[in-house]
Amino acid sequence: MSDSGDLLAGRYRLRQRVGSGAMGVVWEATDERLQRQVAVKQLLQQAALDPERADEARERVMREGRVAARLHHPNAIGVFDVVLDDGMPVLVMEYLRSRSLADILAEQHHLDPATVARIGGQVASALAAAHAAGIVHRDIKPANVLIAEDGTAKITDFGISHATGDVVVTQTGLVAGTPAYLAPEVARGQRPTPGSDVFSLAATLYAAVEGAPPFGTSEDNALALLYKVAEGAVPAPRNAGSLTPVLGAMLRADPDQRITAAQVGEGLRSVALGLPLPAPVAEATAEWGSRTGTPGATATMPSTSGGRTATDMPPGGEQGSAGPDRTLLAPGAAGKQRPPRLRKRAYLFAAVALALLAGLGLYALLGPDEERGAGSAVSMAAAERERAVSEYYALLPDRAEQAWSRLGPELREQGKQPYLERWSEVSAVAVTSSPRATGDDSVRVEVELSMPDGSVVTEAHELTLIAAEDELLINGDDVLRRDVDAPAPDPQPSPQTPQEETEPQPGQGNDDDDEEGEPEEEEGEDQDEQEETPPPAEDDEPPEDETPPAEPPEEEGGTEGE
């Protein structure tokens, strides 16, 4: 790790450390080239990552840092540069003299609804702009909301959490950090979406007004909290006042039922100004789950012995209630209790996600025999992903309709008709580099696209897959490289083509001028033809001079040379 006074990338002089955490260290620095103050974030390599996964994490940080740099918004910390220092990514960002919302809450415990609405409205505005640009933050939480002295709120760390993992697995298989602000679908292992950002922002505002996030913190047992988050039942806030309907519209269990970030901004600004809520927000309010405890209460791991808590799963498939009147936060009627099957499914999703997380950490601790067993399981999962990608490209371009059915919801947002039209412009598809599983949910592949004009496009993709019932769907597509080979020229005597196209019109000159650049054999033939022509050909020299004599060939030669 660098020290104060060090120069990074020959440009950024570190001044003083202003913060640190599980992901890295933040420095106040000076950009010596532009002579401006910047914030420099040095990312730490997670000890649990093997070299290959560490390389992938670095590549993803660099790529997503460049994506985040596209976002320009007054309520988002701008990303200026992404560089490598000692092999690790360094993000150069806008410097804002501020305090994080997490620090403010640690000092004041909670804020009044109007203040929270003003902060949330600014953050929602930045999120709406990010979502419009195709950027999902993935890690909205109080620590990533910065508040300046004048009350300006800015969100930071766009795209970085997905690349490095703020909720990471240690070598002992435990989760480092808290998943308290995750959306339920993310806790169940699904890919984050704009709707996930909306839920996480709601959880952040909930914590600001209530003093603790909806599902508690349970920092001593993050795995247990992940179970609770995956269930998705949120108790009604007690101190939110006029903020309550907006939070309810943001905290729906189904991400498709949540209001958008733009609608969140409108609703929160109305709350801050004491105005009536806009129709989309007012109509989207939902029923709350009843409280069986207080926010911040410690979640308990499922147990088959002793008394059950609100998060216990009935043992042995036994049907039972997790509480006397607890209901699911959903658009359904009040008083409906979550069916036991759905409750078990939520726990099952969480258990699968946790098993995958814990398995990564346990893999590093296993001996040779156990390591071989774990490796087989991991390879099987990788093989499934690789096969899914191979089958997808095998359908293209002729069976694009079937290929469309292999896409996840995020890629389907592009629309079916544009997708089919795009593939109708491709003559053939060939996989030139076998699919290779990378990370937990991605596959890299290189394909060659033959186009009708004869050109060949070679593309390297990193595809992200999600599990949907009994199949894997391709839900994300990052193009890592794209090369285009132009079609071969027409099989014609191209050197003569330009001259032939600009030759004098018929009647302006003789064929012997036209054939000036032809091989000697043809010139001989032309000379024979000239010998057969009557002598008046020489008398016709003055009329020939009326046509451009020597200049046009020179001009044509110059054009051809150019």
Distance CA 115, CA 123 (A): 13
pLDDT score, position 199: 96
Between 240-254, 276-290, 344-358, the lowest mean confidence (pLDDT) is in 344-358
pLDDT score, position 100: 94
Contacts of residue 393, defined as CB under 8 A and 6 or more positions apart, other chains included, come to: 429, 431, 445, 447
pLDDT score, position 290: 55
CA quadruple 283, 289, 290, 291: dihedral, nearest 10:
-120
Residue 510 pLDDT more than 60? no
Residue 311 pLDDT more than 70? no
pLDDT score, position 188: 87
Write down the mean pLDDT value for the chain. Answer: 73
Highest mean predicted confidence (pLDDT) among 106-110, 135-139, 553-557: 106-110
From the list 139, 157, 166, 312, the catalytic residue is 139
Query: Hey, how many other C-beta atoms are within 10 angstroms of the C-beta on 41?
Result: 24
Between 4-8, 40-44, 335-339, 530-534, the lowest mean confidence (pLDDT) is in 335-339
Task: Give the pLDDT band of residue 14 (cuts 50, 70, 90).
Answer: very high
Highest mean predicted confidence (pLDDT) among 107-111, 214-218, 281-285, 556-560: 107-111
Query: Hey, how many other C-beta atoms are within 10 angstroms of the C-beta on 476?
Result: 16
Distance CA 503, CA 51 (A): 66
pLDDT score, position 104: 96
Task: Give the pLDDT band of residue 61 (cuts 50, 70, 90).
Answer: confident
Top-confidence residue, 4 or 542:
4
pLDDT score, position 315: 31
Between 221-225, 323-327, 358-362, the lowest mean confidence (pLDDT) is in 323-327
Task: Give the pLDDT band of residue 285 (cuts 50, 70, 90).
Answer: low
Residue 342 pLDDT more than 50? no
pLDDT score, position 172: 37
Distance CA 235, CA 289 (A): 5
Highest mean predicted confidence (pLDDT) among 145-149, 337-341, 372-376: 145-149
Top-confidence residue, 491 or 82:
82
Give the H or E element holding residue 192.
Answer: none
pLDDT score, position 283: 80
Between 97-101, 268-272, 329-333, the lowest mean confidence (pLDDT) is in 329-333
Residue 562 pLDDT more than 60? no
Rounded mean pLDDT of 89-115?
94
Catalytic, 139? Answer yes
Q: Percent of the chain beyond pLDDT 70?
A: 63
pLDDT score, position 367: 34
Q: Where in the chain is the domain with CATH 3.30.200.20?
A: 7-94
- Residue numbers in the known binding site for ATP are 41
Task: Give the pLDDT band of residue 488 (cuts 50, 70, 90).
Answer: low
> Using only C-alpha atoms, what is the Rg of the chain?
33
Between 165-169, 170-174, 231-235, the lowest mean confidence (pLDDT) is in 170-174
pLDDT score, position 299: 35
Read off the pTM: 0.54
Rounded mean pLDDT of 141-166?
79
Rounded mean pLDDT of 198-203?
96
Interior/surface letters 236-269, b for 16+ CB within 10 angstroms, e for the rest:
ebebbeebbbbbbbbbbbebeebbbbbbbbbbbb
In CATH, the number for domain 98-292+339-354 is: 1.10.510.10
Least Cα distance to 83 among 14, 179, 156, 183 occurs for: 14
Q: Give the angle subtended at the CA of 350 by the CAs of 347 and 355, to the nearest 5°.
A: 120
Distance CA 120, CA 269 (A): 9
Residue 219 pLDDT more than 50? yes
Q: Where in the chain is the domain with CATH 3.10.450?
A: 370-485
pLDDT score, position 484: 86
Fold assignment, 7-94: Phosphorylase Kinase; domain 1 (3.30.200)
CB 129 within 8 A of CB 71: yes
CA quadruple 161, 163, 165, 171: dihedral, nearest 10:
-160
Q: Where in the chain is the domain with CATH 1.10.510.10?
A: 98-292+339-354
Top-confidence residue, 321 or 210:
210
Distance CA 464, CA 475 (A): 6
Residue 136 is encoded by which pair of tokens?
């999902």
Between 147-151, 324-328, 415-419, 434-438, the lowest mean confidence (pLDDT) is in 324-328
Fold assignment, 370-485: Nuclear Transport Factor 2; Chain: A, (3.10.450)
Top-confidence residue, 18 or 309:
18
Residue 313 pLDDT more than 60? no
Top-confidence residue, 174 or 158:
158
